[in-house]
Amino acid sequence: MIEKLFLSDKYMNRILSIVFSCILVSSCVNDSRERNITSLSNFQIDFINAPELDFEEKVDTFYYIPLETGKNNLLGEISKIQIDSVISVLDGMNQTIHLYSLNGKLMTVIDKKGMGPGEYVQLGDFYTSSKERYVELLDPMKKKVMRYDFSGNFIKEISLPFPNGVSRFTKFNGYYLFDQQTRRNDEKWKYSIVVISEDGKIINKFFPYTKYADILLSSRSSFYNINNELHYVPIYCDTVFALDENSVIPKYSVDFSDKWVDESFVYSEVKNPMDFINKLKDCDFITFLNVLETDSTIWLDFMYKEQKYCALINKINLNVSTYSINESKNCGDLMGEILTSWNNYFIMPINAEQLNQKLGLKGENDNNPYIVFVQFKS
């Protein structure tokens, strides 16, 4: 049986999912120094004694879009954002998908919770195709992908072959790629990535597991797309990969030296979640690594002990800058969780009250969040 425990993490200021089961961990947990990565770009991340990030000083370009607020359109918690010709927002609290135009005007709310035809029990993830004008929702409980048009009408569903549900996926080149955050004991499913066609057939599998762990701490996102190249960040792995339905190519790695994840901790015998969290506070290695990038910059954020840090990597000159993040001081008013990137901007939601006060705006403080677009200085 797979259980999920959702804890409010004061370190990350967000909800982190801790998944309990017999979890198989990719071989990426091994220290990068033990693997041949000489052909990769390798970025040294030295964050000890890093200066505090002054968000306003570091930002080059900043603009925002208010998301339209209505009686039936109040967002609870923005868990994921996808932007192309529309802004798609996953409200993890209310288990709904909200579609907005690029100026923030509400287009559709997909709220089809239920057990009947065309309904979903649990909303784990989503993918939007602006070209074909549909949204696909992943239901881990039903083990199905549900497709709706931009008016919220149900189109069809795709049954998945997994023995248990998966909670993360994306779509690329017409194929579904699933990240098995809840890992399998069955030999057939000992892979992090499973590629499935639209008719539910298994096309490929990547990243075979080597060991089990009992507790898995999930990052915000496994996949991101930059310049029509899909990237994947395996859990407990210091390397970012490009992949499609047929191949996996290592792109670059990050070197935290002796602060990388300790293998003995990953395979710890600690079973109680609170004991695990308490033990985590004292560990001498980084946790919760999140990676995104634009055309010019790679963004990392991570935790070390009880402190949040970030690194900005200039993709032109390969310079690396690291900072500590004091969310109650220099960053708290304008710095939110960076959830995606688009058009060379990093994207994050900001509480309406915070932005109104900081910029002197006249909007209602209980309105929906703003979507903020940020470019950092070189």
Question: In this predicted structure, what is the pLDDT of residue 225?
Answer: 95
Q: Token match 């499935």: residue?
A: 196
**Residues of the chain with pLDDT > 90: what percent?**
59
Question: In this predicted structure, what is the pLDDT of residue 214?
Answer: 67
pTM over 0.95, yes/no? no
pLDDT over 50 at 30, yes or no: no
Q: Dump the DSSP string for 276-331.
A: HHHHHHT-SSEEEEEEEE-SSEEEEEEEETTEEEEEEEETTT--EEEEEE-TTTTS
Instruction: Report which of residues 360 and 343 the model is more confident about.
Output: 343
Q: Which two tokens stand for residue 161?
A: 């072959």
Query: Among 315, 250, 260, which Cα is nearest to 283's?
Result: 260
Query: What value does the mean pLDDT take over residues 211-228?
Result: 81
Query: Among 210, 191, 182, 187, which Cα is nearest to 1's?
Result: 182
Question: In this predicted structure, what is the pLDDT of residue 77?
Answer: 92
Domain boundaries, the chain: 3-376
Instruction: Report which of residues 305 and 135 the model is more confident about.
Output: 135
Question: In this predicted structure, what is the pLDDT of residue 75?
Answer: 95
pLDDT over 60 at 354, yes or no: yes
Which of 6-20, 50-64, 166-180 reaches the highest mean pLDDT? Answer: 166-180
Q: pLDDT tens for residues 190-205?
A: 898 999 999 999 999 9
Query: Among 114, 118, 70, which Cα is nearest to 95's?
Result: 114
- In CATH, the number for domain 3-376 is 2.120.10.30
Query: What value does the mean pLDDT take over residues 154-183?
Result: 90
**Residues of the chain with pLDDT > 70: what percent?**
84
In angstroms, rounded to a whole number, what is the distance separating the alpha carbons of residues 365 and 371?
15
Flag the least confident range among 44-58, 242-256, 259-273, 347-361: 259-273
In angstroms, rounded to a whole number, what is the distance separating the alpha carbons of residues 166 and 150?
24
